[in-house]
Structure formats: structure tokens, C-alpha cells
């Protein structure tokens, strides 16, 4: 059954990290090396399968009501030894394993966006860059920002970067993820972002990897990236522009074709040093289409016009909202609105763990076949029920073949 394959990939990913656990512990010489009730593999599995109940109740459920189940205090002692990097490594290992199963070709559409998670903490546990306000809590409120990439066809997260709320830099996170993102064989990544991601630096990072971007930008009448170009008189159009970027005011830097744009010292651009006589050339489409009688949307992209008409560009951009829906499920169904910790390092553990839970749940849903009757609407798997089933199924103590996950999802 497919669900056993997925669990095998998950346990193999955990085992791969545990085999090098010294790379992921606070004190590599001694942490998580003894054979305790909550060794590294069970610790990671517990974090991934943990629900929204209290830690004590979750531990009892995880260990099948065993009177010898570790206490909440013992769990906290064990998790203190584990770096969040361990959960991040399991996330990436599992994703790569699933990618090896699901062959793709053509284009992979990846939406990018960010979401902030708030938690209670104490000043002794968290540095000032996490602090938001005192609010009505004696401990105060703290926040962490998740920068995520999301596969719009598979409905799974492909990569992420966590930042303290006051160190939030979505531009930098985007570039870092693009630079390291997995590119599947015979497949091109298409990175889709809202206006906050539209910059020459982000475009250049995508181009350097020989991939594609699709960003919404401010309209042509606003002071945005496309301001100052010569556009047709038509309200809707699809044109290609050539831009030469410079970081020096020398008159020698005058392009013979297209437009020149100066990138000032305060603006990030990683491919020309400020003051240098070097230049960087870009070519991209500007696609403008109506939303209503009085409003228009403007998109910049380097996707080929022969394959991607303006109508397809429009539909692709609107599909980006899939990542917004995923954030709601991640917070309120998977459980990232209810943390079991107050320390930032533990919050990071839980965010990575829930990203794994989310991906496993969606992967199983993607392979669930539901017989359709002659009704107006197609039946879909209930995500909340699926997440609950997956939590129980992922526990290492759950016996093999004791749960027919796919049949439960089909109900």
C-alpha cells in the first residue's frame, strides 16, 4: 500500500539523521547517545505526530497509554539536546525521497510567501529580535517569520527559512532558497510571488539558475519596477522589455538597446558591486490584464510566450493563492497556532515538524482515489480528518499494517 511506502520514506529519513545525530545535537559528544525511553528517533517522530493536546496527554497517546511512558519533564530534557536543524534535515530528506518516487517533467510551479507565528516567551529565553509586545500576557508576545516555497500541483512545501520577526527579510530568504532549491530532472522551476517579491535582484537569482519567475508588480501608473517604460496605448498588453542594470553614473554605461536602470547603494543586487562599471542585462515580459472595468493587474515574467499566453499567465498568478490556503491549514489544522514550548529553538523544532506532517498528509491525499457519484460537486478528502489519521499512523509505536490509511481517507 502507498501509505506504507510513505511511512517507510519517513522512517528512513529519520534514521538517516539519527545515524549522524552528533551533527544535530547541542553537545555532540554526549547528547542523545544513551538508550533512553525517548531516543532520537522517537523524539523526532513524536514532534512530527504531536497534536494540540497537552504534552503529557500527547506522550500518553504516543506511547499507547504505557504507564512507563516518559514524563513531560523528561521530554523537555531530551528536546533541549536536539537542534532544530535535525527536523529541517528530516524535512529535506523526506522531500527528496518523495521526489524520487513522483517523476515530473516540464514545469514545476512554486509559490513563495511568508507567514508569522506568535508565541509566548520570557526575556531570559528569547533575544530581543523575537519580541513583539507585552500585550495582556505577563510573559509578552514574540514572533517568528516563516518564508516558504510551496508546490502548487502537489500541495506540499518544498523549502523554507525561519527568521526572527525583527530580522525578517523576505528578499534575502527568497534568493537563498532559489540558490539552493532542488531542480528535478527534465523540469524547470517557476517561482511565483506577489508584489513584495518583485525586484531585479530576485529576478537575477532565478535567471542565474536558468529557471523562471512570475511576479506581480505595481501597475504601470505607480512608482514601481515597470514605471518609465514605453507601453502601448492599449489598456491590456503583453510586451518584452530589455533592461541594463548599472551601479555607476558613468556616461560610458549607456546601452545601445532597451532601458538603463540604476541600482543605488541601499538596494540589494548581488551581481554587480556598487560603484563598479559592470552591467547586468535582463529581458522579461510585462503582461497587463483587467480585473474589472477600472482595475488592472501587472505581471513580470521570463516565461516563454509561445507556451504561456497572457491568459495562462493570469491563471498561474491566481493559483498562487494556494499557498495562502496552506498557511491556514498549517496553523489551524496541523496545529501551528498552539505551540508546546516557549523557547525560540523549540518553536523552530515544532515548525519544521509540522511542515513534515503537512507534507505527508497532502502526499497521501494526492494518492487517494475517491469514487465519484453523479453529484454536482466532486468529493474531496477532509484535510482535518486526514491530518488526524496521519498523526496516529506516523507514530513509530504504531504496528505495521494496523491502520489501513488509504481506506480511511477514501471514506
Would you state the pLDDT for residue 373?
Answer: 54
Let me know if 373 is exposed, middle or buried by CB neighbors in 10 A (0-12, 13-18, 19+): exposed
* Grid cell at residue 367: 494518492
* Grid cell at residue 6: 510513505
First and final C-alpha spacing in the chain: 16
Looking up cell 490584464, which residue turns up? 289
Would you state the pLDDT for residue 256?
Answer: 78
* Grid cell at residue 189: 522551476
Let me know if 212 is exposed, middle or buried by CB neighbors in 10 A (0-12, 13-18, 19+): buried
**Coil/strand/helix, residue 185:** coil
Would you state the pLDDT for residue 137?
Answer: 62
Q: Report the candidate in 351, 304, 326 with the shortest Cα–Cα distance to residue 47.
A: 351
Would you state the pLDDT for residue 404?
Answer: 79
**Coil/strand/helix, residue 212:** strand
Query: Which residues of the chain carry a pLDDT beneath 50?
Result: none
Indicate the pTM of the whole model.
0.93
Q: How far apart are CA 329 and CA 340, in angstroms?
A: 18
Q: Which helix (H) or strand (E) holds 315?
A: helix 310-319
The greatest distance separating any two alpha carbons of the chain, rounded to the nearest whole angstrom, comes to: 79
Q: Report the candidate in 361, 44, 8, 317 with the shortest Cα–Cα distance to residue 191.
A: 317
Q: How far apart are CA 24 and CA 313, in angstroms?
A: 42
Q: How far apart are CA 155 and CA 308, in angstroms?
A: 22
Give, as one character, the DSSP assignment of residue 113.
E
Q: Could you give phi then psi for residue 239, rounded to 5 degrees?
A: -125, 160
Q: Report the candidate in 231, 244, 225 with the shortest Cα–Cα distance to residue 283.
A: 244
Bridge partners (DSSP) listed for residue 287: 238, 299
Q: Report the candidate in 408, 406, 397, 410 with the shortest Cα–Cα distance to residue 69.
A: 397
No. of H helices and E strands in the chain?
Answer: 12, 10
Q: Report the candidate in 158, 215, 175, 176 with the shortest Cα–Cα distance to residue 192.
A: 215
Dihedral (Cα; 173, 177, 180, 182), 10-degree rounding: 170
Question: CB neighbours (10 Å) of residue 383?
Answer: 18
Bridge partners (DSSP) listed for residue 240: 285
Are 190 and 212 in contact, with CB atoms under 8 Å apart?
A: yes
Would you state the pLDDT for residue 294?
Answer: 78
Amino acid at each position: 500500500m502507498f501509505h506504507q511506502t510513505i511511512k517507510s520514506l519517513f522512517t528512513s529519513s529519520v534514521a538517516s539523521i539519527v545515524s549522524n545525530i552528533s551533527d544535530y545535537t547541542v553537545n555532540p559528544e554526549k547528547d542523545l547517545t544513551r538508550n533512553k525511553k525517548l531516543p532520537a528517533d522517537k523524539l523526532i517522530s513524536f514532534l512530527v505526530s504531536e497534536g494540540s493536546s497537552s504534552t503529557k496527554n500527547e506522550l500518553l497517546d504516543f506511547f499507547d497509554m504505557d504507564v512507563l511512558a516518559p514524563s513531560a519533564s523528561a521530554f523537555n530534557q531530551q528536546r533541549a539536546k536536539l537542534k532544530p536543524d535535525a527536523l529541517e534535515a528530516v524535512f529535506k530528506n523526506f522531500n527528496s525521497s518523495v521526489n524520487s518516487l513522483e517523476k515530473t517533467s516540464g514545469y514545476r510551479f512554486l509559490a513563495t510567501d511568508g507567514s508569522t507565528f506568535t508565541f509566548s516567551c520570557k526575556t531570559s529565553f528569547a533575544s530581543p529580535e523575537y519580541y513583539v509586545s507585552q500585550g495582556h500576557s505577563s510573559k509578552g508576545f514574540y514572533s517568528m517569520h516563516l518564508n516558504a516555497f510551496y508546490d502548487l500541483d502537489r500541495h506540499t512545501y518544498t523549502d523554507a527559512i525561519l527568521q526572527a520577526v525583527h530580522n525578517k527579510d523576505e528578499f534575502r530568504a527568497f534568493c537563498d532558497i532559489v540558490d539552493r532549491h532542488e531542480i528535478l530532472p527534465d523540469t524547470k522551476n517557476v517561482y511565483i510571488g506577489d508584489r513584495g517579491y518583485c525586484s531585479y535582484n530576485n529576478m537575477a537569482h532565478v535567471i542565474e539558475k536558468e529557471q523562471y519567475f512570475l511576479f506581480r508588480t505595481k501597475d504601470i501608473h505607480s512608482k514601481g519596477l515597470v514605471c518609465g517604460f514605453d507601453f502601448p496605448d492599449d489598456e491590456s498588453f503583453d510586451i518584452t522589455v530589455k533592461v541594463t542594470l548599472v551601479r555607476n553614473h558613468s556616461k560610458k554605461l549607456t546601452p545601445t538597446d532597451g532601458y538603463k536602470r540604476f541600482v543605488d547603494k541601499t538596494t540589494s543586487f548581488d551581481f554587480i558591486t556598487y560603484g563598479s562599471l559592470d552591467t547586468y542585462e535582463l529581458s522579461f515580459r510585462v503582461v497587463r490584464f483587467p480585473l474589472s472595468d477600472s482595475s488592472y493587474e501587472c505581471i513580470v515574467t521570463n516565461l516563454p510566450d509561445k507556451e504561456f499566453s497572457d491568459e495562462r499567465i493570469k491563471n498561474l498568478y491566481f493559483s498562487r493563492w494556494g499557498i495562502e490556503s496552506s498557511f491556514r491549514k498549517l496553523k489551524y489544522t496541523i496545529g501551528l497556532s498552539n505551540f508546546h514550548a516557549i523557547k525560540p529553538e523549540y518553536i523552530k523544532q515544532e515548525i519544521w515538524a509540522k511542515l513534515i506532517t503537512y507534507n505527508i498528509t497532502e502526499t497521501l491525499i494526492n494518492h487517494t482515489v475517491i469514487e465519484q457519484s453523479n453529484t454536482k460537486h466532486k468529493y474531496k478528502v477532509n484535510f482535518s480528518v486526514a491530518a488526524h489519521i496521519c498523526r496516529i499512523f506516523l507514530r513509530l509505536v504504531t504496528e505495521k499494517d494496523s491502520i489501513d490509511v488509504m481506506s480511511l481517507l477514501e471514506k
